[in-house]
Amino acid sequence: MILSMTGFGRAETVYEGKKITIDIKSLNSKNFDLNVKIPLRYKEKEFDIRKLLNDKILRGKVDCYINCESLEDNNDVKINQDVVKNYMNQLREVGSDAPEFELLKMAVRMPDALSTKNSDLEENEWKTLLETVENSISKFIEFRQTEGNNLAVEIEKIVQNIEYNLNQVAQYEEERIQPIKDRYQAALKNFENIDETRYYQEMVYFVEKLDISEEKVRLSQHIKYYLEVMRNEDFNGKKLGFIAQEMGREINTLGSKANHSEIQKLVVEMKDDLEKIKEQTLNIL
């Protein structure tokens, strides 16, 4: 079973007049690259949240957005007036001739100018937040599974196309060797005193160089192994990428030895399909 690195999960809950919303989304990446945006209220738990995401998501370029919205009319934010006035006085002393309104705007951006009432995070609220994160991760993984199933169906069709084209090579193998033999035999008529034993030795050597039996067998084995890993192993994206590289080597060698226009066409088709597989494999966890 394969999982897509592309995923999305959202979970919401309400706790004591606050609406907590968590969105997780990801794109493909070689490693785990996590970006978390979290309200100041929950900053002390950022490490725990990051660890949970790391353990569950494993790989990908991941964005996690946690939003906390008040559903009540009361305002938890308090302006520390004495602090703001002190900042404004200091700004005047350093020679600022800005209008009062501009001084006020600068002052409220300073440290400790604003404070939040009841800012301590209670244990029950943390448990609620943690459950919401876990729910979001569960939905995220479900999304990955659905996308992974779609990927598996598409990739399997492409792999089967490569296997089909590989099987079509056999019908042209005899054709590709006979013209070479005929061309050499025609050329020999222009010479006298030919050492036929040496001639046949050279022909055998040349035909062996063009032999593609091993490439066909290895490519067939790689195809079977790719499908086996895709169907039976978890978190197999990197392994499938390595197998696809090996498939590419055999297809390239087969193309260099082809010496036949129809086989070359089949090789081009296999290369085109292999590029599609490599592109899709990049999105497998």
Check: pTM over 0.75? Answer yes or no. Answer: no
* Structure letter (DSSP) for residue 284: B
How confident is residue 117, by pLDDT bands cut at 50, 70 and 90?
Answer: low
How confident is residue 109, by pLDDT bands cut at 50, 70 and 90?
Answer: confident
CA dist., res. 12 & res. 266, Å (int): 53
How confident is residue 64, by pLDDT bands cut at 50, 70 and 90?
Answer: very high
Instruction: Residue 67: name the closest of 127, 112, 10, 138 by CA.
Output: 10
Instruction: Residue 210: name the closest of 276, 145, 263, 282 by CA.
Output: 263
CA dist., res. 131 & res. 141, Å (int): 15
Over residues 91-115, mean pLDDT: 79
Render pLDDT for 6-63 as a digit per residue (tens, 0 to 9).
999 999 999 988 899 999 999 998 889 999 999 888 888 999 999 999 999 989 999 9
Distances (CA, A) of 33 to 25, 60, 64, 140, 242: 12, 6, 11, 16, 22
Can you give the pLDDT at residue 34?
A: 94
CA dist., res. 269 & res. 262, Å (int): 11
Can you give the pLDDT at residue 176?
A: 75
Query: Where do runs of H (alpha helix) occur along 27-172?
Result: 46-57, 81-93, 100-107, 123-168
Q: What is the DSSP annotation of 182-198? A: HHHHHHHTT-SS--HHH
Render pLDDT for 130-163 as a digit per residue (tens, 0 to 9).
999 999 999 999 999 999 999 999 999 999 999 9
Render pLDDT for 244-278 as a digit per residue (tens, 0 to 9).
999 999 999 999 888 888 999 999 999 999 999 99
Can you give the pLDDT at residue 205?
A: 66
Can you give the pLDDT at residue 207?
A: 65
